[in-house]
Amino acid sequence: MPGFELFGEEEKKEIADVLDTGVLFRYEFPEQRKGIYKVKELEDKFAAYCGVTHAQAVTSGTAALKVALMALGVGPGDEVITQGFTFVATWEAILDVGAIPVFTEVNETLNMDPADLRKKINDRTKCIIPVHMLGSAAEISEIISIAEEFGIPVLEDTAQAAGGKVNGRSLGSFGRCGTFSFDPVKTMTTGEGGMIITNDEQLWRNMSEYHDHGHDHIPNPGTRGGEGRNFIGFNYRMMELQGAIGIAQLAKLDFMIKQQKQHKAKLQQAALSIPGVTLRKIIDAEGDSATFFAFLLADKEQCQRVNRHLREKGAGAINFSENTWHFYPQWEHLLAGSTLTSSGWPFSTPEGKRRVVYSPELLPKSTAILERTLVFPISVKMDDDRLKNICEALQGAAAV
């Protein structure tokens, strides 16, 4: 990743279509736009690509999570279970709707541990958000099975795994809905932007209305409805320029994944020369989006030695146990309950009573796994010299 590596004439043509109309807003102005509705076209094509009936475009992957949670009816007093290895947006959205994030361990998929999920479910659990982290699938069948046992909806956070599949079925299509990010560093990008997919028509309609200030979206392509508003909403609309870029990028997504897989295979072969290495558990290698390559060392000490060697060779990897944006113990603002509100909301009630306190020692299994895990981002156009340098550094680490 990311898709901006392949910006070309296709994106320019789609953007030019929009500029020729002069209409950047996704709704209204039917006379001026000459039948061009780029966001609607992207929604339709993305839904078809994922094998679902409905898709709702929004301003970001973060907005997608919030809009989906609102449509699912999640709010204050509720708990939402997600994993402790994810981007901060996952739990920010939970807090923003007034619910409480509950974090599970990850296993060697680097995604939600189904066994720990089961332990965390209680009467207040109103949604489960597994994250298909670093481009590869969570154990989604097991997670769905547990959720169905308790009657809890699953919202798949597929921000980093557009185009990923399990047994030929698109990630994001297993739960009640799935969210995607199209930000600047995603495989498929619109600069900023996101998408929610679902097979539930009423859920889609609620998302569609909520993301547009509650406007009634009766079947009327490109416009609003009769203004019989059902509930309040907010503004998370994608604009036509983003939709235009997304159409061109979606057409390239399978090619992007194919290229990433080829690069990942070379890195994987080189890493296997290191004694004690095990590879991240991949649920379906054929369906892997290959946006990242992750491998595990025998212990924390070996991991640190190997990464020191890689850095000396100009090929340092990411150790997510040290990363401040993606791993629970490093989220100091979450642990401290830091907020701009005078009452302390959402960590405290409006009266100032603390709602939740998080301990940095909450997820020891995840810490033990991530402390010995190294990760390389995979790009679509990976320079031959760069790829050779990383492979040679990995092979040289066998002697460390």
Tens digits of per-residue pLDDT, 49-91? 999 999 999 999 999 999 999 999 999 999 999 999 999 999 9
Nearest to 311 by CA among 379, 383, 376: 376
Q: Check residue 216 and give its pLDDT.
A: 85
pLDDT at 225: 64
The conformational region for residue 77 under phi > 0 = left, psi -120 to 50 = alpha, else beta, is: left
Can you give the residue range of the structural domain that contains 390? 254-324+364-399
Could you list the active site residues?
186
Domains identified in the chain, total number: 2
pLDDT at 393 over 60: yes
pLDDT in the model for residue 241 = 98
Assess whether 229 and 178 both reside in one domain: yes
For the stretch 221-257, pLDDT in tens is 556 666 678 899 999 999 999 999 999 999 999 999 9
pLDDT one-digit tens code per residue, 291-300: 999 999 999 9
Q: Do 58 and 198 sit in the same domain of this protein? A: yes
Q: Are 57 and 104 part of one and the same domain?
A: yes
Contacts of residue 313, defined as CB under 8 A and 6 or more positions apart, other chains included, come to 389, 392, 393, 396
CA distance 71 to 359: 30
Instruction: Assess whether 161 and 220 both reside in one domain.
Output: yes
pLDDT value at residue 3 = 74
Residue where a domain stops, chosen among 252, 271, 297:
252
Rounded to an integer, the average pLDDT of 128-140 is 98
User: The domain that contains 45 carries what CATH number?
Assistant: 3.40.640.10
Residue 64 pLDDT: 98
Q: Is residue 344 part of a domain?
A: no
* Per-residue confidence (pLDDT) for residue 185, from 0 to 100: 93
Does residue 372 share a domain with residue 303? yes
Q: Residue 209's pLDDT band (boundaries 50, 70, 90)? A: very high
pLDDT for residue 1 is more than 80: no
Of all residues in the chain, what percent carry a pLDDT higher than 70? 97
Query: Tell me, what CATH number does 264's domain have?
Result: 3.90.1150.10
pTM flag (> 0.85): yes
Q: In this structure, is residue 336 part of a structural domain?
A: no
Q: Nearest 5°: phi and psi at 180?
A: -135, 155
In a domain, 91, yes or no: yes
What's the CA angle centered on 172, arms 376 and 181, to 5 degrees?
55
Q: Which of 217, 252, 287 is the last residue of a domain?
A: 252
286 and 230 fall within a common domain? no
Residue 358 lies in a domain: no
- DSSP-derived secondary structure letter, 362: S
Q: Which two three-digit tokens encode residue 323?
A: 């990363």
Average pLDDT, the chain: 95
